Amino acid sequence: MLTQEPLQTEAQDESVRDVFARLYSDGRAYAEAEVERQKLRAGIAGAGIRDALIFALVGIMLVFAAIVAGLVGVILALAPLVGPGWATGAVFSGALVIALILLLFAKGRIDRMRKAIKP
């Protein structure tokens, strides 16, 4: 009859100290890999935000250019009817009135926000 002896493996030969040393080194390697992964994610997010800001700023500049072009067009359209000086004054005054109304709306929103967050 053959007797079976338990097979000795490397895992059984390892001491507790060796297991903890390996666990520590594996944990450290995992933590370092995770830090590098988070750095990569932050870099990707930073590049995306930078690109979005650039596109937004260029878009805003084009909107302002379009507004100026529109105002010049209105002045040119009104000039034959009331003269260039009066056309410029009318467009300028209209733009100021619209800007004032928008600023009052903004002030109202800020006041409403202050009341909502006031302790």
For 53-88, the pLDDT digits (tens) are: 999 999 999 999 999 999 999 999 999 999 999 999
Q: Going by C-beta distance under 8 Å and a sequence separation of 6 or more, which residues neighbour residue 78?
A: 86, 87, 90, 91
Q: pLDDT band at 13, cuts 50/70/90?
A: low
Q: Determine the distance from the C-alpha atom of residue 107 to the mean position of all C-alpha atoms in its chain, rounded to a whole number.
A: 25
Percent of the chain with pLDDT over 90: 71
- 0.85 exceeded by pTM: no
| Sign of the alpha-carbon torsion through 25, 30, 36, 39 | negative
31, 32, 28: which is closest to 20 by C-alpha?
Answer: 28
What pLDDT does residue 117 have? Answer: 87
Residue 8 has pLDDT above 80, yes or no: no
What pLDDT does residue 118 have? Answer: 84
Residue 105 has pLDDT above 90, yes or no: yes
119, 117, 94, 60: which is closest to 109 by C-alpha?
Answer: 117
Average pLDDT score over residue span 87-94: 94
